[in-house]
Amino acid sequence: MTLPSDIIQAAPLHITFNSGYVPPGFFTRFVVVLTNKMELCFEKDIGIYRNRVTFRYQDPNSTTIEHVIVTDCTDVIQIDVQHHHLNQEVVSFTKICQNIRVLLEDAAKEVEEILKKCASGQTDDNKSTSYIFMHKFKYVCASCCQSTPSHYIKLSPANQTLVCCENNTTKYRLPTELEEVWFKDTNQATEKPSSSQRIRSPKPSEVMSTPAEPGSLSMPPPTDTHIHENPPVDPTHVFQSHIAKLCKTISSDVVAVCNECYSSDLIGDGTYSYVITATGVSIDDKATRLIHDIESQLKSSINKQEYLSNVIEAFLRVNNSNLSIVAEELKNSFL
Ligand SMILES: [Zn+2]
């Protein structure tokens, strides 16, 4: 699709689902919820199709009107935002995209709540079911060449201005200008309004390798009368010393713990589906798998301190008193 020269299109945003498909009813509900927040667009050739609906969105302070195109691609919902560039722009495209993203995230949460309620209702003939799907917003890579299969990018946990492609998590780079509209913080965006020309021709993005790991832990000081500084506490060691206790504690709530960790991007898809769907394995096996995935993610994490803090926060959100005690212990051991 070739766009007219006065139109800029942000890198696509995808709503993905742990089931691998858009759950029944999600797309139509999503469109209905969005019509409360944006105006349906009936323009010829853009308008409304069976699996695609276009909205007109005007940011409260902006003079421009964006087209927000929502498409049900069966496996994901794709969002494209088209910006019609004007010479005088009060609000940058980046700022507008940030606002649109918040609006979309709120709408998706709302839809999830509605579908959960729908599933839990029952009649004499139909027993209630449960809506078990979880959604996640992902950002499509706009940097790799067209021949590479479509994939997502994610922010570096250590440096929020860098991203990496999902298929190469060791190479961090700056986001392209079509990608960064989703990430950049709004303060920077208002200081530096973007011009259409700048956005349309992104320079080749700078490629950076993963920052080096901090030096290995120094040997503990010999015990003598001199005063030594304590060596820094390694979050991996702290976590490892609690593994046995954690496996036992999370068993009673393994699904809840898994959901919390997954929704905060702390564990992989494989572990998530193992814990949620595997049959014929014991709860203890699931708990062990979950804890060991966290351990290996922690080991390979660039910012171990931050990763472990996020894990502790996820544990605390489960509201299991025994788990909260272990989480507090972990917190006190390394913070
Ligand atoms: Zn890529």
Q: Which residues of 282-312 are buried (b: 16+ CB within 10 A; e: fewer)?
A: eeebbbbbbbebbeebbeebbbbeebbbbbb
Task: Please give the distance, rounded to the nearest whole angstrom, from the Cα atom of residue 151 to the centre of ligand 1.
Answer: 6
* Residue 185: predicted pLDDT: 58
* Residue 182: predicted pLDDT: 92
Q: Which residues of 202-212 are buried (b: 16+ CB within 10 A; e: fewer)?
A: beebeeeeeee
53 pairs with which residues across the strands?
A: 48, 70
Task: Please give the distance, rounded to the nearest whole angstrom, from the Cα atom of residue 216 to the centre of ligand 1.
Answer: 31
Using CA atoms, how far apart are residues 334 and 253, in angstroms rounded to an integer? Answer: 25
| Domains 7-121+129-207 and 235-334 are alike in CATH topology | no
Task: Please give the distance, rounded to the nearest whole angstrom, from the Cα atom of residue 176 to the centre of ligand 1.
Answer: 11
Task: Please give the distance, rounded to the nearest whole angstrom, from the Cα atom of residue 104 to the centre of ligand 1.
Answer: 24
Structural contact between residues 131 and 116, judged by C-beta atoms closer than 8 angstroms: yes
| Domain range list for the chain | 7-121+129-207, 235-334
Task: Please give the distance, rounded to the nearest whole angstrom, from the Cα atom of residue 177 to the centre of ligand 1.
Answer: 14
Task: Please give the distance, rounded to the nearest whole angstrom, from the Cα atom of residue 42 to the centre of ligand 1.
Answer: 34
83 pairs with which residues across the strands?
A: 8, 66
Right CATH number for 235-334 from 1.10.287, 2.70.98, 1.10.533, 3.30.70? 1.10.533
Neighbours of ion ligand 1 (CB under 5 A): 141, 144, 165
Using CA atoms, how far apart are residues 262 and 19, in angstroms rounded to an integer? Answer: 13
pLDDT along the chain (335 residues), means of 10: 80 95 95 94 81 93 92 96 84 92 96 91 82 93 87 85 87 90 60 39 35 37 45 81 87 90 87 88 89 88 85 90 89 79
Task: Please give the distance, rounded to the nearest whole angstrom, from the Cα atom of residue 207 to the centre of ligand 1.
Answer: 11
Task: Please give the distance, rounded to the nearest whole angstrom, from the Cα atom of residue 145 to the centre of ligand 1.
Answer: 8
Right CATH number for 7-121+129-207 from 3.30.310.200, 3.40.1280.10, 1.20.140.10, 3.40.50.1970? 3.30.310.200
